[in-house]
Amino acid sequence: MAFRLMIQIWQQQAQINMDSPVKAQRGREAVSPAAAPDGGYAWFILLSCFLVFGLTFGVIKAFGVFYFEIQQYFETTATGTSWITSIAVGTLHVVAPVANVLSARYNHRSVVVAGGLLCSVGVVFGAFARNLIELYLTVGFLNGLGYAMTWTPTVTMLGLYFEKRRPMANALASTGECILTFVLTPLFQLLINSYSWRGALLILGGLQLNLCVCGMLLRPLQATRDVNCEVKAEEEDLSLELLPKDNSEQSNPSCPETEELKISRVSDHVTIRACFEDPEEIPNTTMKAQDSNNRTNKTELTTKILRYVDYTLITNARFMVYSMFGVFAALGFFAPALFLVPYARGKGIEEYQAAALMSISAAFDLFGRVFFGWVANLRLVETVQQLTVTVILLGSVLLLCPLASSFSELAAFSAVYGLVYGATVAIHITVLVEVVGVKRLGSALGFFMLIRSSGGLLGPPIAGFFIDQMSDYGTGFLMAGVALIVSALFLLLLHQMNRRGQGSTTKKHDMHTDKMGQSVRAEARELDMT
């Protein structure tokens, strides 16, 4: 019996030796990310992210020009028309974690290129839609799916390339939304007047192929490694019998696959040694080795899952509070841009002046993002405090919108709204990085977008419902303003949690310092006594 067990153990050892080249190859791939360069090729990543912001959220904001035409063509309500953009925004948020997993499994470049193709196909097919349902499936779902596969990986890559200048980089990248909104809004109106809304959608589909070019600009950071894991694995295997027990159990954090291989080899060595020293202990030793291998397999599986989806974020209280802010903020973020042009048309303002309101908003939005992103980069105040103030101001401005009726009043509202909106959007991703850390940004961004999806999906239809009930587009702005002020309450809660966390850290540091001081004084007294 003992001889048969020894043969099985030697066979397992031979299989491990056959698998070791594969493990070593995996070890060479498991490299730690390089430090953010904050320059060089990082500026091309910023350019790519700039264009992605413009061709996703910029198109969403400028799409309000299509609303009046589509609503009249299909003879539907404001609620029915609003579902087109609402489905696109909701799909963008829901599919964001999937886009992050695909980027981790393959690479950011291929995912963004595929997303750009989906956006183009969705909009082109939408140009031939015969009813609203087909528009929901094409311009809504397919287009939103492509948005998720382009926006999420690009923003994640931008966070990896910038560290010291991250607030400013996020602000500059988000200005793509403003500039393209400024350009696309009158352009869409011109295309609609020249080629109808169907022809304008065909041209938009061709324009969104540029998202594929943005994906081609993405290049992963060059990771470095000083020690070859394969060589190290062989050296550790040869020295298992020579090193003391304490040294042989030390792990190498930079080579996780090699560590798993080493653990399995240690268990086999222990089992083989037990066969010669105490044959009666063979069953117990074999069971211990099997338990060790099972624990190693579970650890490996958990590591692989966390590499793609960091599900532990749902236990992070600060992250969940910030996600609730995102839900209520999304209720108010998208409705105003969609209904500003129809609201102006309802007040009797002619079509090109109504479209110009979005351009005015986009121009001040651009200034707000750059200026307040620069302010955030100075670190004069906590970023979460700055975000809280801008969100409250944004909600207050939206509550005042129904008081405007003439073009000059609406132009003033558009300018103030764009300025405060830009100040808000410029830093909300930076706050997310501060909450979870840059290493978890990819998974955090995916989960944040997923949780926020309910707000992005329901915001425009809820605003449209109030508009249909009250026969006044101004009620949609009131709903958005209330939602934003409620979202600011969660930012205040997050700020208090940050303060408590800093206070507990300071207390621990003070206690540690006191203990060190007491030990030093005790040693001094002993020296005096001697």
Query: Which pLDDT belongs to residue 305?
Result: 53
Kindly state the DSSP code that residue 474 receives in the 8-state scheme.
H
* Band of pLDDT at residue 517, cut at 50, 70 and 90: low
Using CA atoms, how far apart are residues 315 and 323, in angstroms rounded to an integer?
12
Q: Report the SS3 class of residue 32.
A: coil
Query: Which pLDDT belongs to residue 405?
Result: 83
Average pLDDT over residues 189-212: 92
Average pLDDT over residues 113-132: 93
Q: Which of 114-128, 211-225, 246-260, 509-523 has the highest mean pLDDT?
A: 114-128
Query: Which pLDDT belongs to residue 198?
Result: 93
Kindly state the DSSP code that residue 254 receives in the 8-state scheme.
T
Per DSSP, the chain holds a count of helices (H) and strands (E) of 21, 0
Q: How many residues does the chain have?
A: 530
* Band of pLDDT at residue 213, cut at 50, 70 and 90: very high
- Which pLDDT tens digit goes with each residue over 42-80? 889 999 999 999 999 889 888 878 887 888 888 888 778
Q: Which of 20-29, 209-218, 333-342, 401-410 has the highest mean pLDDT?
A: 209-218
**DSSP letters of 267-287?**
HHHHHHHHHHH-GGGHHHHHH
* Band of pLDDT at residue 466, cut at 50, 70 and 90: confident
What's the token pair of residue 156? Answer: 């994640």
pLDDT at 23 over 70: no
Average pLDDT over residues 307-318: 72
Using CA atoms, how far apart are residues 337 and 472, in angstroms rounded to an integer?
16
Using CA atoms, how far apart are residues 189 and 342, in angstroms rounded to an integer?
13
For residue 233, which of 26, 15, 10 has the smallest C-alpha distance? Answer: 26
What's the token pair of residue 516? Answer: 């060190």
pLDDT at 121 over 50: yes
pLDDT at 294 over 80: no
Percent of the chain with pLDDT over 90: 21
pLDDT at 194 over 50: yes
Query: Which pLDDT belongs to residue 138?
Result: 94
What CATH superfamily is the domain 42-222+309-504? MFS general substrate transporter like domains (1.20.1250.20)
What's the token pair of residue 209? Answer: 């192929």
Query: Which has the higher per-residue pLDDT, 503 or 17?
Result: 503
- Which pLDDT tens digit goes with each residue over 361-375? 888 988 888 888 888
* Band of pLDDT at residue 309, cut at 50, 70 and 90: low
Q: Is the pTM of this model over 0.75?
A: no
For residue 372, which of 387, 357, 355, 351 has the smallest C-alpha distance? Answer: 387
What's the token pair of residue 345? Answer: 């048309």
Tell me which H or E stretch contains 380. none
pLDDT at 478 over 60: yes
* Under 8 Å between Cβ of 370 and 171: yes
* Band of pLDDT at residue 137, cut at 50, 70 and 90: very high
**DSSP letters of 115-164?**
HHHHHHHHHHHHTT-SSHHHHIIIIIIIHHHHHHHHHHHHHHHHHHH-ST
How many other CB atoms are there within 10 angstroms of residue 359's CB atom?
18
Using CA atoms, how far apart are residues 343 and 401, in angstroms rounded to an integer?
10
Question: What residue segments make up the domains of the chain, in order of their start?
Answer: 2-32+227-308, 42-222+309-504
Percent of the chain with pLDDT over 70: 71
- Which pLDDT tens digit goes with each residue over 220-253? 876 544 444 444 444 444 444 444 444 444 444 4
Mean pLDDT over each residue of the chain, to the nearest integer? 76
* Under 8 Å between Cβ of 480 and 331: yes
Query: Which pLDDT belongs to residue 246?
Result: 45
* Band of pLDDT at residue 211, cut at 50, 70 and 90: very high
